[in-house]
Amino acid sequence: MEDNSLEYLFIALFVLILCSAFFSGSETAMLSLNRFRLRHLAKQRNRGAIRSIALLASPGRLIGVVLIGSTVINSLVATLATIIAIRIWGNDDRYIYAASLLVTFLLLIFAEMTPKTIGAMYPESIAFPSSIILRWLLKAMHPLVWSMSAISAMFVRMLGFKPRDSAHHHLSQDELRSIIVDESSRQLPLQRQNILLNVLDLEKVTVNDIMIPRNDVAGINLDHDIDDIMQVLLNVQHTRLPVYNGDLNNVVGMLHMRNAARWMQMEHPNKAELLQLADEAYFVPESTALPTQLVNFQKNRKRMAIVVDEYGVVIGVITLEDILEEIVGNFTTNLSEETPEIYPQDDGTYVLDGSTSVRELNRALHWHLPTDGPKTLNGLLMEELESIPDNQIGLRLNGYCAEILQTTDNQIKSVRMWAASSPGSDDLSEMQANQYD
């Protein structure tokens, strides 16, 4: 009879260790669940996800149930181990201490470390089935859990800690970036990751940063004769062109090439008919953020806008395509790009056009030139030099070396640049190297 009772005690001990492992594993699994995936599964009517969200809505109560359950069970395990030791070896303190150490070891391995490791590795597989039992225990132990949670909250307030509001759980832009790069790196292709990151960065970019500068804007000057206008329309590579009187500050409309083709097919085309075919010009301030401008394009059913500064002076144009390319990269072939502004050299350096956009330069060469100031390479170098160079000089700028090759019309037309640590820089002459300070 005594042997049978001892066998039952061992079975009870084994069951209690399993129960302790359940509480440890389920707690870790619940707290390891990806909240974003959990909401996605809940929208798909996954019952396990719905139960888990309900439990995690009150984390204090959930942890209370787990702690009460695991504490009571671990106490019972220690008591049961002591009883078994006394039954086998009598009241010998040495054996009782040895039994306590053995049970502590078993609890650490089989009721703590192993189930928590599994719960962290497979949170959904453990948490969803466990949520059934945990929800039932939460209901059954509600008065006890509520009272203990209230006492715990009181001591927390006495210690000077205050519960954080829900705003603390909102993700910042940097946290979203970390999720996209770190958490989704294996699920999302690199190109889609870059698109998501570009969308996040869109708030930092304004119309002025990506517009086509005034000097590069192609348009139709109504002061020119019909033959000159015809030549512009035949050679231009753009879909829409601003129409202006004498100066780009006097824009009177926007002509689509579809309407321009109709005008050129007329028997006696004239400027009045051309002006009638042009749409009303759409003006935007240079400081408009790209997300706002994207919405404005959609709301106004426009694809191109004239950019003006704070004085109302036209400083460039921006198109819907320019904004989309900030998100997805270059997705169309622009025939005007057949004459590139970046010329790679055999020694690892680059000969660059002064009108090159700093943002485009960074994107093409993976450089990190500052973009919070001048928008073109010419402006960036002029700002650094604080003068207009009249001969070949060099300078060092943010870890990059620049050698000015040509200056005309008060502008830097041609620059040779390279990263200071690039292989080609070792081959430069000592005279050139001494120019940079």
Top-confidence residue, 179 or 140: 140
- Find the range with the poorest average confidence among 28-37, 82-91, 227-236, 415-424: 415-424
How confident is the prediction for the chain on average, in pLDDT? 82
The pLDDT assigned to 178 comes to: 67
Structural domain boundaries in the chain? 2-166, 173-203, 206-322, 340-433
Share of residues in the chain with pLDDT > 90 (%): 22
Between CA 106 and CA 114 the distance in angstroms is 11
The pLDDT assigned to 326 comes to: 83
Fold equal for 206-322 and 340-433? no
CATH number of 340-433: 3.30.465.10
- Find the range with the poorest average confidence among 23-37, 138-152, 169-183, 289-303: 169-183
Is the confidence at residue 173, as pLDDT, over 80? no
What is the DSSP pairing of strand 220-221 with strand 240-244? parallel
Residue 176: which pLDDT band, with cuts at 50, 70 and 90? low
Between CA 172 and CA 149 the distance in angstroms is 30
- Beta-ladder partners of 402: 395, 417
Q: What is the CB neighbour count within 10 angstroms for residue 223?
A: 12
Average pLDDT over residues 128-151: 86
b/e for 373-402, b at 16 or more Cβ within 10 A?
Answer: ebbbbbbbbbebeeeeeeeeebbebeebbb
Residue 187: which pLDDT band, with cuts at 50, 70 and 90? low
The pLDDT assigned to 64 comes to: 84
pLDDT in tens, 202-236: 888 889 888 888 888 989 999 999 989 999 898 88
Is the confidence at residue 113, as pLDDT, over 70? yes
- Beta-ladder partners of 152: none
Contact assessment for residue 340 and residue 355, using Cβ atoms and an 8 Å cutoff:
no
CA 51 vs. chain centroid, Å, equals 30
Average pLDDT over residues 406-432: 68
Report the interhelical angle of 59-89 vs 123-140 (nearest 10°): 90
Top-confidence residue, 222 or 333: 222
Query: Could you tell me which residues come within 8 angstroms of residue 400 by beta carbon, excluding any fewer than 6 positions away?
Result: 367, 369, 417, 418, 419, 420
CATH number of 206-322: 3.10.580.10
Between CA 41 and CA 417 the distance in angstroms is 52
Average pLDDT over residues 241-266: 91
The pLDDT assigned to 430 comes to: 41
The pLDDT assigned to 365 comes to: 84
Is the confidence at residue 407, as pLDDT, over 90? no
Is the confidence at residue 167, as pLDDT, over 60? no
Choose among 242, 205, 241: nearest CA to 375: 205
Between CA 362 and CA 365 the distance in angstroms is 5
Polymer length in residues for the chain: 437
3-state secondary structure the chain: CHHHHHHHHHHHHHHHHHHHHHHHHHHHHHHHCCHHHHHHHHHCCCHHHHHHHHHHCCHHHHHHHHHHHHHHHHHHHHHHHHHHHHHHHCCCHHHHHHHHHHHHHHHHHHHHHHHHHHHHHCHHHHHHHHHHHHHHHHHHCHHHHHHHHHHHHHHHHHCCCCCCCHHHHCCCHHHHHHHHHHHCCCCCCHHHHHHHHHHHHHHHCEHHHHCEEHHHCCCEECCCCHHHHHHHHHHCCCCEEEEECCCHHHEEEEEEHHHHHHHHCCCCCCHHHHHHHCECCCEEECCCEHHHHHHHHHHHCCCEEEEECCCCCEEEEEEHHHHHHHHHCCCCCCHHHHCCCEEECCCCCEEEECCCEHHHHHHHHCCCCCCCCCCEHHHHHHHHHCCCCCCCCEEEECCEEEEEEEEECCEEEEEEEEECCCHHHHHCCHHHHCCCC
Is the confidence at residue 191, as pLDDT, over 90? no
- Find the range with the poorest average confidence among 76-80, 96-100, 421-425: 421-425
Is the confidence at residue 114, as pLDDT, over 50? yes
Between CA 111 and CA 103 the distance in angstroms is 10
Is the confidence at residue 393, as pLDDT, over 90? no
The pLDDT assigned to 169 comes to: 55
Average pLDDT over residues 139-164: 80
